[in-house]
């Protein structure tokens, strides 16, 4: 499977973040994390080794910004 460029990775992560509100509204609360993880895992499988830290940081920001994990006081960034 070809790996994503950084631009493609960011586009995929932006789409994932944009999809989360609809997923939260349409999915049973007990399935939110599993549903999210299924999509995130597909992106991770195509993430180049050198972009893993970037992927993880962005993923954590999406989870925090969408209220899926507790928010820390510091802003979300790489």
**Per the domain annotation, does 72 fall within a domain?**
no
Q: Which stretches of 1-78 are assigned E, i.e. beta strand?
A: none
What is the share, in percent, of the chain residues with pLDDT greater than 90? 82
In total, how many domains does the chain have?
1
State pLDDT tens for residues 25-34.
Answer: 999 999 999 9
pLDDT one-digit tens code per residue, 10-22: 999 999 999 999 9
User: Does residue 76 sit within a domain?
Assistant: no
Written as six digits, the tokens of 41 are 């895992």
Average pLDDT, the chain: 92
Give 37 or 1, the one with higher predicted confidence: 37
Question: Which residue range is the domain that position 57 belongs to?
Answer: 6-65
CA distances from 38 to 35, 44, 61 (A): 5, 10, 17
The answer to whether position 74 is within a domain reads no
Report which of 76, 74, 31 is spatially closest to residue 57, judged by C-alpha positions: 76
Q: Which residue has the higher pLDDT, 56 or 78?
A: 56
């Amino acid at each position: 499977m070809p790996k994503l460029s950084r631009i493609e990775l960011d586009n995929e992560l932006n789409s994932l973040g944009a999809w989360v509100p609809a997923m939260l509204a349409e999915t049973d609360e007990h399935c939110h994390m599993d549903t999210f993880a299924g999509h995130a895992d597909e992106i991770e499988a195509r993430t180049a080794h050198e972009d893993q830290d970037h992927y993880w940081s962005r993923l954590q920001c999406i989870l925090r910004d969408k209220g899926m994990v507790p928010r820390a006081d510091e802003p979300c960034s790489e």
